[in-house]
Chains A and B, each alone.
Chain A
Amino acid sequence: MSRIGQTFTALKAQNKKALIPFITAGDPGKGLTVPLMHALVESGADIIELGVPFSDPMADGPVIQRASERALANKVGLKDVLAMVAEFRKSNTTTPVVLMGYANPVEHMGYEAFARAASTAGVDGVLTVDIPPEESAGVADVFKAHGLDPIFLLSPTTPESRIEQVAAVAGGFIYYVSLKGVTGAANLDTEEVAQKLAMVRKHCSLPVGVGFGIRDGATAEAVARIADAVVVGSRIVGEIEAAPEGECAIRVKHLLADLRRGVDAASK
């Protein structure tokens, strides 16, 4: 079983839900990402989603776009991101790391070469936002062959007929995008999400994480009541952007502790 699978099994045994924070690799500085990853784990992260910067982040809102631009200004590319994961693994061999990004940097490296390098670095899952199952032939199977879970998105607009198609190729967990729109959008309707999740679970046995629209302990708690994992991105990246120099890890730890309390309150 993959590190992601083990994490969900262990949490389930404790009747707990997973908290999955997202940060963009290389933001705010090249040397700050690995310490930030450790800080996330110390304050309650179960899995880390690490954003691979891309010049044209079509599915992201302004907050993560700016993080991507800062990381690119720091000259952080896919190879640097893999080096960061390898560095993180020197002192953490248990927390799963999922890379999240766009197809082109991976395609440019070559899917096979990337999968080999990512696996060696200690990456556990890969979510390429703009590769739907229809285009994943020769991608998902290559990832799986190297022990990487191919993670796919489902959205409010996904019809029931497609859920099965996604479930057939997906690994690790399903990432349910709770809102139409780009990352960082507001207004989450948990009742609507709950209905959709019931449909997802009919066709898919993987754990389901929910992201988009989670901003604090209260929204994290509401989502943790209906999902297996709570994914938080823009809120954390926004905190990093707003933090004065040197205070970014502390600010992120405070935020994460609040989110953790929310997630844990749901299982009481």
Chain B
Amino acid sequence: MKLTDLPDSRGHFGPYGGIFVAETLMAALDELRVEYDRARQDPAFMAEFEYELKHYVGRPSPVYHAKRLSEQYGGAQIYLKREDLNHTGAHKINNTIGQALLARRMGKKRVIAETGAGQHGVASATVAARYGMECVVYMGAEDVARQAPNVFRMKLLGATVVPVSSGSKTLKDALNEAMRDWVTNVESTFYILGTAAGPHPYPMLVRDFQCVIGRECIQQMPELTGRQPDAVVACVGGGSNAIGVFHPYIPYEDVRLIGVEAGGSGIGSGKHAAPLTAGTPGVLHGFRSYLMQDENGQIIETHSVSAGLDYPGVGPEHSYLKDAGRAEYVAIDDDEALAAFHDLCRLEGIIPALESSHAVAHAKKLAPTMRKDQTILVNLSGRGDKDINTVAKVAGITL
């Protein structure tokens, strides 16, 4: 079986993925799988999705040659895929439009979502407003505190934000709570899952909706440089922006695919969010993948300066690509990500999301090991306006 043919009919990427949920959700996931299968073969559905991406999101997003950054880093030429220029400021909107169109098709009037940094929550609240649906967003209480501007954005857009105070009060707990809501309101509610994880068919359908990123790059890079990049670098939390740019590149065997996890205070400290780098396989949130867990199989708390990467699991396709050797995964710690954040601000006039800054930071390490005529494509998954409070706090500045 080819790497691009996955998952199988039950959502398996080799040993990863699958459907690990309580019986109450099985029928709803089956309904979603059948409906998505019909939708993706329906030219009218796909045409509407593409129309919305063009006229509402503003796609295609440009690829930009970051010349001053490349010069500073001293090696390969760095190109940025500008997902930060999308409506709502990140790649998340590609997926929420796809899922909202599915929800409408299935006659669901209420949507729910989980969010970490708040970008997926904002993107969900946005499409709910756009299509006239009720929207409830679950967000860890700790994230509500550190991402206040996004909480207010969601409220402006008409969504209800529910702070989640169980467990570690972050993204994983928000996901638990969203699942609990879905189990309770399964007939009226569509769950807009924000990353390429969760039970099948979510990892597949989120990937499919995000693949527009990689498909555009495959067209844009030869226009700019005459060929495909030597390496594609993307940050990985749940992994939706990364799989969106990686998946279309899988058949291009000369292109290195590098996923960058959150190294937090350093892998050695144990305070990080890098399951592919330092975790082991297990089952969480409806699927099997690499996880951060202790010797009893309990999920351990993660640490990252970036709320969007603060997640103990990772999408199952990344686990498969790691084992298959088709993609490499590395970790960048908080300090390295913050340094790259400032580099991009000062050298290119772009304030990147802290999540995306992890990818830029790896390009900073990689570029000097490459020739000046080689290219690195960095997926700049989101803009950093939402992070200015966090960056100020780290610098000891009160805004």
Q: Does B22 contact A (CB under 8 A)?
A: yes
Check if A59 sits within 8 Å of B183, measured CB to CB. Answer: yes
Q: Does B26 contact A (CB under 8 A)?
A: yes
- Restricting to B160-219, which residues have a CB under 8 Å from any CB of A? 166-167, 172-173, 176, 179-180, 183-187
Q: Does A56 contact B (CB under 8 A)?
A: yes
A176 to chain B, nearest CB (A): 10
Out of A79, A154, A157, A162, which one reaches B186, CB within 8 Å? A157
Check if B21 sits within 8 Å of A78, measured CB to CB. Answer: no
Check if A132 sits within 8 Å of B299, measured CB to CB. Answer: no
Decide: A135 near B293, CB < 8 A? Known: A56-B172, A177-B24: no
| Chain A interfacial residues counted at CB < 8 A | 45
Out of B183, B283, B288, B295, which one reaches A181, CB within 8 Å? B183
Check if B283 sits within 8 Å of A56, measured CB to CB. Answer: no
Q: Does A141 contact B (CB under 8 A)?
A: no
Q: Does A250 contact B (CB under 8 A)?
A: no
Check if B296 sits within 8 Å of A77, measured CB to CB. Answer: yes
Check if A55 sits within 8 Å of B23, measured CB to CB. Answer: no
Decide: A108 near B23, CB < 8 A? Known: A58-B179, A180-B183: no
**Complex formed: what's the CA distance from A152 to B295 in Å?**
27
| A-B contacts, CB under 8 A, total | 126
Q: Could you give, for residues 10-46 of chain B, a 1 whenever the CB lies within 8 Å of some chain A CB and a 0 otherwise?
A: 1000000011111111111000000000000000000
Residue of B whose beta carbon sits closest to that of A59: B22
**Complex formed: what's the CA distance from A47 to B166 in Å?**
30
B10 neighbours in A (Cβ, 8 Å): 134
Out of A58, A69, A78, A153, which one reaches B176, CB within 8 Å? A58
A62 to chain B, nearest CB (A): 8
Q: Does B291 contact A (CB under 8 A)?
A: yes
Residue of B whose beta carbon sits closest to that of A76: B296
B296 neighbours in A (Cβ, 8 Å): 77-79, 105, 108
Q: Does A185 contact B (CB under 8 A)?
A: yes
B288 neighbours in A (Cβ, 8 Å): 107
Out of A57, A77, A158, A181, which one reaches B23, CB within 8 Å? A158
B331 neighbours in A (Cβ, 8 Å): none
**Complex formed: what's the CA distance from A152 to B291 in Å?**
25
B32 to chain A, nearest CB (A): 13
Decide: A58 near B285, CB < 8 A? Known: A152-B23, A158-B27: yes
- Restricting to A131-152, which residues have a CB under 8 Å from any CB of B? 131-132, 134-135, 152
**Complex formed: what's the CA distance from A154 to B23 in Å?**
6
A78 neighbours in B (Cβ, 8 Å): 296-297
Q: Could you give, for residues 96-122 of chain A, a 1 whenever the CB lies within 8 Å of some chain B CB and a 0 otherwise?
A: 000000111111110000000000000
B297 to chain A, nearest CB (A): 3
Q: Does A219 contact B (CB under 8 A)?
A: no
Residue of B whose beta carbon sits closest to that of A62: B166
Q: Does B284 contact A (CB under 8 A)?
A: yes
Q: Does A155 contact B (CB under 8 A)?
A: yes
Check if A131 sits within 8 Å of B20, measured CB to CB. Answer: yes
**Complex formed: what's the CA distance from A78 to B21 in Å?**
20
B295 neighbours in A (Cβ, 8 Å): 77, 108
B187 neighbours in A (Cβ, 8 Å): 180
Decide: A104 near B282, CB < 8 A? Known: A77-B298, A180-B186: yes
Q: Does B286 contact A (CB under 8 A)?
A: yes
Check if A132 sits within 8 Å of B183, measured CB to CB. Answer: no
A65 neighbours in B (Cβ, 8 Å): 166
Decide: A104 near B180, CB < 8 A? Known: A129-B22, A153-B23, A155-B23: no
Residue of B286, B295, B297 with most chain A CB atoms under a 10 A cut-off? B297
Check if B24 sits within 8 Å of A155, measured CB to CB. Answer: yes
Check if B21 sits within 8 Å of A132, measured CB to CB. Answer: yes
**Complex formed: what's the CA distance from A59 to B26 in Å?**
13
Out of B20, B21, B166, B293, which one reaches A108, CB within 8 Å? B293
A107 neighbours in B (Cβ, 8 Å): 282-283, 288, 297
**Complex formed: what's the CA distance from A78 to B294 in Å?**
12
Residue of A61, A62, A159, A181 with most chain B CB atoms under a 10 A cut-off? A181
Check if B293 sits within 8 Å of A177, measured CB to CB. Answer: no
**Complex formed: what's the CA distance from A2 to B21 in Å?**
27
Check if B27 sits within 8 Å of A130, measured CB to CB. Answer: no
Q: Does A218 contact B (CB under 8 A)?
A: no
**Complex formed: what's the CA distance from A79 to B173 in Å?**
25
Q: Does A255 contact B (CB under 8 A)?
A: no
Q: Does A72 contact B (CB under 8 A)?
A: yes
Q: Does A206 contact B (CB under 8 A)?
A: no
Check if B22 sits within 8 Å of A181, measured CB to CB. Answer: no
A157 neighbours in B (Cβ, 8 Å): 23-28, 186
A62 neighbours in B (Cβ, 8 Å): 166
Q: Does A54 contact B (CB under 8 A)?
A: yes
**Complex formed: what's the CA distance from A106 to B184 in Å?**
26
B34 to chain A, nearest CB (A): 12
Q: Does A41 contact B (CB under 8 A)?
A: no
Q: Does A265 contact B (CB under 8 A)?
A: no
Check if B291 sits within 8 Å of A104, measured CB to CB. Answer: yes
Q: Does A188 contact B (CB under 8 A)?
A: no
Check if A54 sits within 8 Å of B298, measured CB to CB. Answer: yes
- B residues contacting A by CB (< 8 A) are 10, 18-28, 166-167, 172-173, 176, 179-180, 183-187, 280, 282-286, 288, 291, 293, 295-300
A104-B283, A181-B24 are known contacts; what are 10 more A-B pairs with Cβ within 8 Å? A58-B176, A58-B285, A78-B297, A104-B282, A104-B284, A105-B296, A158-B23, A177-B23, A180-B183, A182-B180
A–B complex contacts, Cβ < 8 Å, 14 sampled: A56-B284, A58-B22, A59-B179, A59-B183, A78-B297, A105-B297, A132-B20, A132-B23, A152-B23, A153-B22, A158-B23, A177-B23, A180-B187, A182-B180
Interchain residue pairs A-B with the least CB separation, the first 3? A108-B297, A77-B296, A105-B297
